Amino acid sequence: MMKKNNKIAIFEGQKIRRIWDKKQEKWYFSVSDVIAALTNSVDPVAYWRKLKERLLKEGGNETVTKCHGLKMKAPDGKMRLTDTADTRVLLRLIQSIPSPGAEPFKLWLARVGYERIEEINNPEKALNRSRDYWQKMGRSQKWIQQRMMGQETRNKLTDYWKDHRVKEQSEYAILTNIIHQEWSEVTIKQHKQLKSLKTENLRDHMSEAELIFTALAELSTRQIAESEKAEGLEENKPPAQKGGRIAKNARKELEIKTGKKVVTSENYKLPKNEKKRIGS
């Protein structure tokens, strides 16, 4: 089975969904997203459907058959089957799409593919790239440090789940939501709605306090799960609730002392012209 990491890349302000295939060590990109970026089509899925038909009618064209259907998160938040292609196949497809952005996209495609290989060989590059991105987005050094420390805490928790029969993605999401709802008293979906977020990563838009309490909840959850030797989804639900409750009690105490709410509507969203500048 293909082990995948879902990521979003940005080309001139346009989001390109992609999945990393660990076994083959290459990216698979959403074809419709690429078409949207190159053509500004109002319906890139229909554009791709017609392009497929034309390419197949030409006869002997293997490009279409080398596109793989993989599940990716759609705008509605659901995982839907999406036509994807690796770098080599995309470069062939681009030749069939009249667009002034074709050449810049080829250079971008080569760059994002190479960056992932670099990160595998030297994980520090991935950390530095994330740090640089957050700095460009206007985050403080203190926020960046907390974000990275929180991610390390998160990784240790998911490592525990992985080693104790919790299935990736779907079951991770269930436990994560239990933890989050317990400490914050809102679901992840409600928290994103509060911050006016759609496909954005919630943690990238959390305040320093929100990051700290998220990390405390996940740290507590892991240590409780370890002490109880929790195995599988059902046994890990009580530790998730207990871990989240520890952070909730601390949050409430802080709110009483300061008179300020920890969970807020504040976010770090930028105007579209700024997003384009940073992503290009």
Could you give the domains of the chain? 4-121 (3.10.260), 140-275 (no CATH)
pLDDT value for 75: 77
How far apart, in whole angstroms, are the C-alpha atoms of residue 187 and residue 250?
Answer: 18
| Residue corresponding to tokens 């009618």 | 57
Q: How far apart are CA 155 and CA 1, in angstroms?
A: 22
State the maximum Cα–Cα separation within the chain, in Å, rounded to a whole number: 72
CA distances from 121 to 25, 114, 125 (A): 12, 11, 9
Three-class DSSP category at 81: strand
Length of the chain: 280
Burial 138-150 (b: 16+ CB within 10 A, else e): ebeeebbebbeeb
What number of CA atoms fall less than 13 Å from residue 153's CA on the CB side?
21
CA angle, residues 217, 222, 227, in degrees to nearest 5: 125
Strand partners of residue 6: 19
Residue 221 has a pLDDT of: 98
Cα–Cα dist 137/221, whole Å: 31
Residues 69, 85: contact at Cβ < 8 Å?
no
pTM metric for this prediction: 0.58
Please name the helix (run of DSSP H) or strand (run of DSSP E) that holds residue 84, with its range, or none.
strand 79-85
Regions of the chain where pLDDT drops below 50 = 1-3, 60, 271-280
**Which helix (DSSP H) or strand (DSSP E) does residue 21 occupy?**
strand 14-21
CA distances (Å), 92 to each of 30, 168, 235, in order?
Answer: 15, 34, 49
User: Going by C-beta distance under 8 Å and a sequence separation of 6 or more, which residues neighbour residue 274?
Assistant: none
